[in-house]
Each structure stands twice: as C-alpha cells, then as structure tokens.
Amino acid sequence: MTLEILTGESLGNIRHGFFTRRGGASSGIYSGLNCGYGSGDQSGVVSLNRSMVAEAMRVHSTNLLSLHQIHSSTVVTVDPDNFPVRPRADAIVTDEPGIALSVLTADCAPVLLADPDNGVIGAAHAGWRGALDGVTDNTIDAMVALGANRDGIQAAVGPTISQRNYEVSQEFMETFLEENPAYSMFFVNGRDGHYQFDLPSFVVAKLRTAGVDDAIWIGACTYAEPDRFYSYRRSTHLKQPDYGRLISAIVL
C-alpha cells in the first residue's frame, strides 16, 4: 500500500507531510507506518518505515532527523556537522536545505513551520504540557534567530486529538486557568464533572499570539479514525499494550 500523506494549505509549496498510518511494514497493533523507535515494534521494521518516509520526502534516510521527545518546551537547532542522535527535545529548526525535520505523535499536535522567503523551517511536538509551557513560542524564537521573519512564518497543525474526544479533569483545566483565565475558551463542559479540551485550537491560538497569523489545523482527529491514525488514548481505552507513532516532516 502506498503511503498516505496529508498537507497543510498554509505551508504552500514547502515540501512537508503529515503521514498517516497507511502503508508501511508494521503489523499487529502497529499495523502500518509506525515510525516510533520508542514503541515495542521491531526496530528493523521501524527503520524500514522511516526509510519510506525519507524517500517520500526526497532525502537520504540519514537526513531524516528526529528527537527523543520529553513533553518539554526545549528546541534544538540543527548543526549538520555535529548533531546528536535523537537529542532530548520537542522541537527542531534549521536553515539547511536537504535536511528533513520530523516529530512523532499519537494524539499530541505535530506542528510544521516555515519561512519560505528566508529559508528557515521548524517542527514541534506539542502535547498539552509542551504547548502550555511554550514549545511553539520557543520554536518561533529559534527560527527568528536563524533569520526568519516572525510575520513571514507559516504553520500547520497536523492530525491530533479533537475536543470531542479529549476528556479532561477539573484539575487539568485549572492548570490552564492558573496560567491565563482566558484559556477557559478552550474547554467545554463534559460528563460527570469532566471537561473537553480543544488542543488544536489552543496550539493554533498560541501560534497566532506569537505573531504567526498564517496558522491552521488541518482538521484530522487521531482518535476518531483508527484506520488512518495511531492514538494513545484510543489504545488505552481498548486496553491495548502499546500503540504506534505517526510521523510528520518538513524539508527545505
């Protein structure tokens, strides 16, 4: 099966892709394009899946860079002569052509960013913690440090869990309201004292507040489409022992 690659209109002609699970060599609960070495899938199969992604992005497999994601707001800038294997961070930026930046997700928001006029790109993994702590703000700042213009950056948020499927506790909501009471707009009442959190809208709002007006969510929910997306929360509800990881990538 060929790979299915979703794109964001806001990124225009910049080569990028939000890869679904369709295609790939993994089997069982990981069936499809599982690109997560942190999963329990066979590492050789994950490597094969990642090589398919590199080919689709038209880069050598060694130039498909990824991170050891830790739900932080830490950003790394690519040094092509000295880049560690999977540094502990949740966002990555570069101005080097031919290097594909990637992040892995399974409900969290993958964010791809580009300033095409100045040749700077970024990729961020924005879970609720990282988003609240400013991972997108820090990514934008790191891009500006490489020569991007803040008002020239375009961004797209890929497949992530939607508000309809993201039930959270009162305590979770209060964590956001302590940061900014206006964040109440991203919550609606749910069942039995719970709330529904709108992660994609929150991430888009953070991007726009940071000066990136051209920012969109592509509208795909990871939880709602099991044949297309891996989902940590769905796997938990189904009592599955593990879950695959989706990959999103961008290259100059």
Single-letter amino acid code for the residue at 85 = V
In angstroms, the Cα distances linking 52 to 20, 34, 247 are 13, 11, 11
CATH for 5-161+211-251 (3.90.1150.10, 3.60.140.10, 3.40.640.10, 3.40.50.880): 3.60.140.10
**Tens digits of residue pLDDT in 10-66:** 999 999 999 999 999 999 999 999 999 999 999 999 999 999 999 999 999 999 999
Average pLDDT over residues 184-195: 95
Phi-psi region of 12 (alpha: psi -120 to 50; beta: other; left: phi over 0): left
Please give the model's pTM, rounded to 2 decimal places.
0.96
Q: Where are the domains of the chain?
A: 5-161+211-251, 163-197
Check whether 1 has a pLDDT greater than 70: no
